[in-house]
Chains A and B, each alone.
Chain A
Amino acid sequence: MWFVLVFALLAVLLVIAGTMRIVRRRRAGLGHGRVFPAALEHPAPQRHGEAPPEASPSGGAFRGGGLGSTLKGLFHGGATEATWHELEELLLKADVGPKAASDMVHRVRADHPTGGDVIDTVRTEILSILGPDRPLTLDGRLSVILVVGVNGSGKTTTIGKLAKRLVSEGRIVSVAAADTFRAAAGEQLAIWARVAGAQLIAQDRGADPGAVAFDAVKASEARGVDVLIVDTAGRLHTKQPLMDELSKIARVIEKAGAAVVETFLVLDAQTGQNGIAQARAFTDAVTITGVVLTKTDGSAKGGIVLAVREELGVPVRFVGVGERPNDLRPFDAGVFADRLLSSG
């Protein structure tokens, strides 16, 4: 019974806390800390430079390094214990995860005891895990895209870039500032809306995000908008009330008469093994239809998306490859695999 647990927990906790606090208080006067409504830390910045020509699909930004260059060198002189070990290490460093990395090495090793075309096999393995690419398709009526993720993963920036992309495709786009929690999140989105040429729908900080979403749907319908992108506050996936709030936002949008056609989970490419816990919790709260992998212009490879794809079946849809407004590309599994296996 959960009840009993809570009860026991409470009791023990309070007894310990109570006694220790009294002891401590005798030593030094301790006041209560005041509680402030705080801000989340979820910004993802960008520098506005000139826009490059329309971007092609990508699995992430490449910085030097060739396709599987590390691996090619690795297995050049045939396979030894050391080279298999290095392959595993390469996968580990890409955040693929210890279990997945060792499984992959074992499988490949069983097929290629002497090395040979190891690179191709690993690449094929990665591609088969990732599955076919799924580009974004939107139909005629108002489509709502909900964007969620932990703090600092890059939601607002992703929305700015996505809005820009959709506007450049000739769609009428509005963005809703349902992150009413973090200080200046609305202002950040407003600047992005201007850059992208999208309409902004916002209320004051502290407003109910569900209400913002509802109004956004109604306003978008009235203004003949094609796509409404809803920004949400960054939330750690372990905070159940915040996850419940997310489910509520999704419900409210449906209730307002619009269809949430896509719910994107924004995942920082630097995320380690915790990424799978994030994806799991967000999937529980809302129907995640895709991952946007951000900050691939750093040195992180984003190998955690393999686990997310395998365990939860959620495909990667877009990648953030830089800080300019055009630096969001449809995901290309081939490019991603090459990047993961490269040293760059």
Chain B
Amino acid sequence: MFDTLTERLDGVFSKLRKRGKLHPKQVDNALADVRTALLEADVAVEVADDLVNRVRSRALSEEVLKSLTPAQQVVKIVNEELNVTLGGEHRPFTLPGAPPVVVLVAGVQGSGKTTACAKLAKHLKSKGKRPLLVGADLERPAAVDQLRTLGREIGVPVWSEGRDPIKLAKNSVKEAERTGADVVIIDTAGRLHVDSEMMRQARKIKDVTKPTHVLMACDAMTGQDAVIQAREFMRDVDTTGFILTKLDGDARGGAALSMTAVTGRPIFFAGTGERLDDLEPFYPDRMAGRILGMGDVLTLIEKAQGTVDAEKAAAAAEQMLQGRFNLEDFLEQLRQMRKLGPIQDILKMLPGVPGGKNAVKEMAEEVNEAELRRAEAMILSMTLEERRNPAIISGSRRLRIANGSGTTTADVNQLLKDFEGARKMMRSMMGGKRLPGMARIPGPQLKA
């Protein structure tokens, strides 16, 4: 399987380059691959076809055909068109109007409404708002309990009453006025768009609360059905935007692209993890890269900014630049990195190494948390002196470390050997002053 569209297109175009100029028919072949890639990313058929047509007309222009790097040119155009389809610019979430304003959260079952409501409440609270969470999902057993528990965790009041979601929703606005809350976030029951009775109920809730926003929660793993759902919800409750949930998996999220395309409504937020902090503003341009399998370095950097201790990181960087990087520093970094989330998730955000075999991806397959924990255990079994100067680790010390960490001396040897290799590599990398360009590290060198 091809991992990224770029690789795929590179493959298609490399055959052509030998013959010089690109032929329109060859562009068509390449675009068939683009279409497949889009469909594999769950972009709706109609949206994919429309996009490919737009790309085709642009790609057939002279400058692309004559370009020395037609593959990159086409990918660039695809990227741009994807951005257009995704709604272009990032649209910030604002709540105009006299308080209390109402945000209605709707969606199909299991799309992540309740969690999204809590995350949104936390987000708004951190912006200085006084949210009130309203549990209007009276269908799913214990849904209100779930919201209450989440509300307690984030310190936001949760209100619910009775058995009638419409009356409840109406009263919740009064409750907000009474308690001085300025945003009412209403968690509604999951409803399938084909359930006309439930959709009518949603419309009534909307009518009595006059929400500033009606947000539809949508699972990033949704397939072709996403556009149907988006259209139906749009028609019945006039969705103002989307919250894309569960984006921390490996779903490409083409469904999101399609929902925006067919409704013209933006995605305001993306749920990117299980912590209640894990709600991020949505940036269409980054999503385009994800759909094409090009990584998401920007999000990664932003995430790192949020979690990594700046002073420690700066100190570590200093150490590295001077080639004085020891196991203690490594341990520290390992822990910092752990804060960013599972290693596989982090790796996924990095773009592949362009051209030929993807060494990074291959190695990524080998990395797992268990192995990291083992390495950590071994380092923890070393004395401070040993960590600072691994050269002093003799045979008997190795045995002690192995015993202390529940590993074998062979494991310890391997760790020390790998570390030394890595240190050498780092030194040459830093010496080359190619600091921010992880993607530019050639594959073979990594195999050191």
Q: Enumerate chain A interface residues (CB-CB to B < 8 A).
A: 1-22, 24-25, 30, 32-47, 63, 89, 92-95, 97-99, 150-154, 181-185, 187-188, 190-192, 205, 236-241, 244, 268-275, 277-278, 295, 297-300, 304, 323
Q: Which residues of B contact A63 (CB under 8 A)?
A: 194
Query: Which residues in A have their C-beta under 8 angstroms from that of B229?
Result: 270, 298-299
Question: Taking CB as reference atom, which chain A residue is nearest B191?
Answer: A45
Within 8 A of A (CB), among B73-131: 108-116, 118
Interface centre among A8, A183, A270 (most CB of B within 10 A): A270
Contact digits for B312-346, partner A, Cβ 8 Å, 1 yes 0 no: 11101100100001000010011011001011111
Min Cβ gap B120→A in Å is 13
Inter-subunit contact A237/B249 (CB<8 Å): yes
Residues of A within 8 A of B224 (CB): 92-95, 272, 300
Instruction: Pull 10 A–B residue pairs with CB atoms less than 8 Å apart, ordered by A.
Output: A8-B426, A8-B429, A13-B346, A17-B313, A20-B305, A38-B150, A39-B146, A272-B221, A272-B222, A273-B223
Closest Cβ–Cβ distance, residue B100 to chain A (whole Å): 25
Stretch of B204-212, B275-283, B388-396 lying at the A interface: B275-283
Chain A's closest residue to B321 (CB) is A15
**Chain B residues with Cβ under 8 A from A3's Cβ?**
375, 415, 418-419, 421-422
A17 CB, nearest partner CB in chain B, Å: 3
B20 CB-CB contact with A under 8 Å:
no
Q: From residue B309, how far is it (CB to closest CB) to chain A in Å?
A: 9
CA distance A153 to B221 in the complex (A): 10
Structural contact, A238 and B446, CB atoms closer than 8 A: no
A19→B315 CA distance, assembly (Å)? 10
Partner pick for B194 among A36, A182, A269, A299, CB 8 A cutoff: A299
Interface majority SS (helix, strand, loop, mixed), chain B: helix
Which of these binds chain A: B50-58, B173-181, B234-242, B251-259?
Answer: B251-259
Other contacts beyond A33-B277, A270-B219: 12, CB < 8 A: A8-B441, A13-B346, A18-B314, A22-B310, A38-B153, A38-B275, A41-B110, A44-B110, A238-B348, A273-B41, A298-B194, A299-B228
In the complex, the answer to whether B40 meets A97 with C-beta atoms within 8 Å is yes
Cβ of B190 within 8 Å of any chain A Cβ, yes or no, is: yes
Give Cα A47 to B143, complex, Å. Answer: 12
Is A239's CB under 8 angstroms from B342's CB?
yes
What CA separation (Å) do A271 and B336 show in the bound complex? 34
Complexed CA–CA distance, A127 and B34 (Å): 30
Which chain A positions have C-beta within 8 A of B3?
A: none
Contact between A240 and B305, CB atoms less than 8 A apart: no
The reply to whether A15 and B448 contact each other, CB–CB distance below 8 Å, is no
Contact of A15 among B147, B307, B320 (CB under 8 A): B320
A297–B190 CB distance below 8 A: no
Find out whether the CB atom of B252 lies under 8 angstroms from the CB atom of A274. yes
B302–chain A nearest beta-carbon distance, Å: 9
Complex contacts, B421 vs chain A, CB 8 Å: 1, 3-4
